[in-house]
Chains A and B, each alone.
Chain A
Amino acid sequence: MSSLEIKNLHVTIGEKEIVKGLSLQISSGEVHAIMGPNGTGKSTLAMVIAGHPDYVVTSGDVLLDGKSVLAMEADERARSGLFLAFQYPSEIPGVSIANFMRAAVQARMAEGEELDATSYYKRLYAKMDMLKIDRKFTARSVNEGFSGGEKKRCEILQMAMLEPKFALMDETDSGLDIDALRIVAEGVNALRGPGLGVLLITHYQRLLNYIIPDFVHVMYAGRIVKSGDKSLALELEAKGYDWVKKEFALANP
């Protein structure tokens, strides 16, 4: 049983404060959805937990299994079990998905320990079968010339291979078409289980038609202003975000 705890987190980029005192706790097996209007700090939250160097934590903490990750480099956080599915994943020309994953798997092994290529490919192909991904896919260079749907498929496959404790999925307004939406949803549902906690960041409720969250949080102006179960998502869908903004304005005059 693992936990990811975000405690009163404040984050700035450049001079600007984006996250302003956000707290959230996620345990293994849970799927949390964070919703909110554009520009409210949802993607910043994902980036800062993953350790992007451009974001500065001014106060608060992020704890993985009770241990702060803030002093860790991004790669160390990743190896500790944090995975970020990017909204806009980078292209890596000339590096096949299979090779990239191999390097990532090797990076998790102890010094001097050698990866066994045969068992690696066996595991890779098993995950691809589970996610219904064509064998040819992993021979392609990472994200190079990929469609939106292929990029999502690539992220999900990596998540499946790296078996993180917590997956941060930044699906904010990335123009997900129905195809891409289904890939993300099917992937998350296939990987969902007692060993994985998910923080799903989304702008639209429709993704939550496919992935039923255990908890729904509304983020606005850099903090969580409302939490509930999946019915909160439906309420947002019906009423939009304006009432959230009004409530927030009343509470913070």
Chain B
Amino acid sequence: MKSAPDTDTLSDREIEEANAANPVAGIDQTRGDFKYEMSYEFDAGTGLNEKTVDYISGVKKEASWIRDFRHNALKIFRSKPMPTHWATKDLENINFDKIRYYLSQGQKPKRTWDEVPDDIKHTFERLGIPEQERKYLAGVEAQFDSEAAYSNIKDVVSKQGVIFANSTEALREHPEIFRKFFGKVIPTGDNKFSALNSAVFSGGSFIYVPKGVKVAQPLQAYFRINAENFGQFERTLIIADEGAEVVYMEGCTAPKFSTSTLHSAVVELVALKGAKIQYITVQNWANNVFNLVTKRGVAHEEAEIKWIDCNIGSRLTMKYPGVVLKGRKSRGEVISIALANDGQHQDTGAKMIHAADETTSNIVAKSISVGQGRSTYRGQVHIPKHLKGCKNNTECDALLINTNSRTDTYPAITVRGDRNYVQHEASVSKVNEEMIFYMQQRGLTEGQAMSLAVNGFINDLARQFPMEYSVELKRLIDLEMEGSVG
């Protein structure tokens, strides 16, 4: 049984009315398939070696410790095999020698949209970013290929001492905080792609929220890939000091290219005592993008980290946001939605590592497989024997649309000791012909009917999103489902 929705979430009616009143609310990632021909001022060339790392580090004028960090990471990346013993063989189709690792028009983002070069500005205007910023965001960073083209934070937020910058700037201007937390949640050698990111990272957000500061509006980053054969390696680090609260949202798009593109980010979150971080992702990658992302947070005593992760598009996504529950009574949550259409593989899930007493974690994962699309859920919940009063709840629901779809669930739950409580539920359901006929008989086209069935399936999760994002998610699903009808 589904529980009744919280009273503070939006009702369908409120969402509808807002949507009808303002059809342009939110970003419109459905309009992501376009690009501008750019000539890049900074280009690290094709392929990856020590010179690539030196080039990136050089244009950013980095300190020697970070250059050494990058070189060490490159060594680790080379030494690690592809994880094809458990993951898909499709990873072998990534040709690291054919990728461009750094493309930018400069390392310093503009503070006003007027200063942003026209083509880049037009890109973000078409995606609706400046308008959204005016309406309801505390700050925006817009990354175009390797670097942020625009970054701004509202005065009232910066006056509270909140730092919102990209990684390039943060390394230059806030090295003491950056270095203290950087690479601590996700060490370079965590996996092959975290090592790759550590060697060539560029862009991404750095956020520090001081003690007790609650940022009222969300901060947002938007990641745009514009160039073909390109790899985007942003690095995000968010620190919420004691009692602080922040909501961060990211969106991502790329145009459709005939060759593959790589997106490999690393995101580290640190919630100190009593802090709350909510991290929301709605991504709509073109179906040639390999999206291999490592995301993890550490929650200290009574802190809370919540990942809301929506994966639409890409050729292959591998992403398992995690929370290390390090402090007593800390809480972790992952809400995950994945839609795998024809030719796509969404390999997603969550990790919850309980490392203190009375910690609680909640995972709700819903996947939709359409046509030949494939969804995989991988979960890891770890509660060691010496702990007591820990709780985990895991729910995985899969929806299959047509018989070719495939879904797999690998929920690894290790619970030791008898003073902890776990609960796991999984379900697989199908959209059947009778349901589609019923909806068609009411006048909906087959595509609209499937779209509605999918939106219904994720409805209880989508209601937890900020309204702009739930509207956008619905729009993205509509578009995917319209496109999937033969």
Contact = CB atoms under 8 A, between A and B. Distances in A.
A98 B452 CA distance: 13
Interface stretch (A6-14, A60-68, A88-96): A88-96
Interface residues of B, number: 34
Contacts of B440: 51, 73-75, 78
B438 A141 contact: no
Contacts of B17: 117-118
B20 interface: yes
A107 B445 contact: yes
A104 B456 contact: no
B437 A94 contact: no
A93 B457 CA distance: 6
- Bin the interface of chain A by size: 35 or more
Interface of B: 11-13, 16-17, 19-21, 23, 429, 432-435, 437-446, 448-449, 452-453, 455-460
Given A100-B452, A103-B452, A90 B443 contact: no
A94 B477 CA distance: 15
Interface stretch (A29-37, A108-116, A173-181, A187-195): A108-116
A19 to B, nearest CB: 18
B435 A92 contact: yes
A114 B460 CA distance: 25
A52 B442 contact: no
B13 A75 contact: no
Dominant secondary structure of chain B at its interface with chain A: helix
Contacts of B437: 52-53, 74, 90
Interface in A140-160: 141, 158
A207 interface: no
Interface of A: 50-53, 73-75, 78-79, 83-84, 86, 89-96, 98-100, 102-104, 107-108, 114-118, 121, 139, 141, 158, 162
B452 A84 contact: no
A17 to B, nearest CB: 22
A94 B20 contact: no
Contacts of B459: 94-95
B444 to A, nearest CB: 5
Contact of A92 (B19, B439, B445): B439
A129 to B, nearest CB: 17
Nearest to B461: A94
Contacts of A107: 442-445, 448
A162 B442 contact: yes
Given A90-B438, A92-B452, A102 B457 contact: no
Contacts of A104: 442-444
A99 B16 contact: yes
Nearest to A74: B440
Given A90-B438, A121-B13, A95 B444 contact: no
B455 A94 contact: yes
